Structure 1
Amino acid sequence: MAANFGLSLVFIAIMVASMQFHGTMAQTTHIVGDASGWTILNGGAAAYTTWASQQTFTVGDALIFNFTNRQHDVAEVSAAAYDPCTSTNPISLATTSPATLALTTPGTHYYICTFTSHCQIGQKLTINVSASATATSPPLTTPTTPASPPTTTPPSLTPTTPTELPCPPTSSPTSSPLSPPTFTTGNTTPTPNSAAPSFTAVVPAALMAIGLAFLNF
């Protein structure tokens, strides 16, 4: 496991180094004046203006000034100091060639030679630096409206009314009161048997028998 962990660290280190190398290669190095270098040209300041118009300067790029030591130098100055070629209080000053100046901020940058009369003769440069690609915001694009999905009717959240069973028809009530129901009890009087002797016939016979019994006494 330790070997795998070590290999992972080596792989990560290689990736980081590759990214840094790629970032370095993406920067552009501009040699001021090309083969002529940083000196007093026949065209004066217009010669450097023409050279700068053919370049694209971006934050992260670098300017290289090639000149003869102790005969020239390069100073970055403010806009107010550029036109009158004021060399006091420069932003930066390089006296040894080749001088590499990094472009770290966007905007207009001004460079002059501080040796006597060199700036007035035309040894001066103005460039415009744009923001780096990583610092600029991507262009805004109008998002494409996605196609609307087919509209589907969502299921109703209202509880479904259960099916009602039909009620039996009811008759309309009448004005006459209903007769009470007739109930049959268990102690019903049996119908007298026609074969049994009649009560009226049994009683005289019994009285006659009683009377005959007294007569015999």
Structure 2
Amino acid sequence: MAAHRQVLLFLAVVFAVASLASATEWKVGDDGGWRAQFNKTGWADGKTFRVGDTLLFKYPKDNHTVIQVGKEDFAACNVQTNNKLGAWFSGNDVVPLDKPGKMWFFCSVDGHCNNGMKLVINVVGDGAAPAPAPVQPAPPPSSAPVMGYTAGAAVAVAGAVVAVVLAF
């Protein structure tokens, strides 16, 4: 029974690693980066942002910022808000998308948000992860030895790992 649990744990880890490996890093603005009048580009249109993905904001460090706010502060370009959910200033900022829902960002440099340097995205939960295979009951003690059972499962798992590695 313990060997069966170890196999299940290993499978769970394999699926988790495969899910993380499929995460996307989105370079905001593509080659143009985070820039003035960004909101007019429609950059986020047609993209599906998922939990586990990241946003990469690239911009000249001394010219812009990235501030994450709520919906009301976003709509009003409220740079003076005390309700910032995040703030980045490096020019090479990575923002993890760690939960589903809307996320609102803008540049806090005076006038930039009102000039369209803002972004709203919708992050969806990762429902695309494959469901684990149904768990088969452990063989009764009088049947085939447990060692043969776990070795077969190990071969199946190794095949799955090789398939995941080859997919990349």
Structure 1 length as normaliser, TM-score?
0.50
Who is 1:120 aligned against?
Answer: 114
The 3 A distance-change label for structure 1 pair 57 and 93 is: same
Which of 20, 43, 51 aligns to 1:51? It is: 43
Give the RMSD, CA atoms, in angstroms. Answer: 2.6
Alignment partner of 1:83 is 2:75:
yes
Q: How many residues align?
A: 120
Which of 65, 75, 83 aligns to 2:57? It is: 65
For 1:102, the aligned partner's letter is P
Contact 2:71/2:104 (<8 A) preserved:
yes
Contact 2:66/2:105 (<8 A) preserved:
yes
- The structure whose RCO (Cα within 8 Å, separation 6+) is larger is 2
The 3 A distance-change label for structure 1 pair 91 and 136 is: farther
Who is 1:29 aligned against?
Answer: 25
The Cα shift of 1:132 comes to 1.1
Partners of 1:136 and 1:123 in 2: how far apart? Answer: 37
The Cα shift of 1:25 comes to 1.8
The 3 A distance-change label for structure 1 pair 136 and 72 is: farther
Partners of 1:125 and 1:51 in 2: how far apart? Answer: 9
Q: Which has the higher strand share?
A: 2
For 1:30, the aligned partner's letter is W
Higher radius of gyration, 1 or 2: 1
The share of aligned pairs that are identical, in percent, is 29
The 3 A distance-change label for structure 1 pair 75 and 135 is: farther
The Cα shift of 1:104 comes to 1.1
1:122-146 CA-to-partner distances (Å, cap 9, x unmatched) read: 1000111111126899xxxxxxxxx
Runs of 4+ in 1 over 6 A off after TM superposition: 14-18, 134-137
Q: Secondary structure in 1 aligned to 2:52?
A: coil
Structure 2 length as normaliser, TM-score?
0.64
Long gaps (5+) in structure 2: 1-9, 132-168
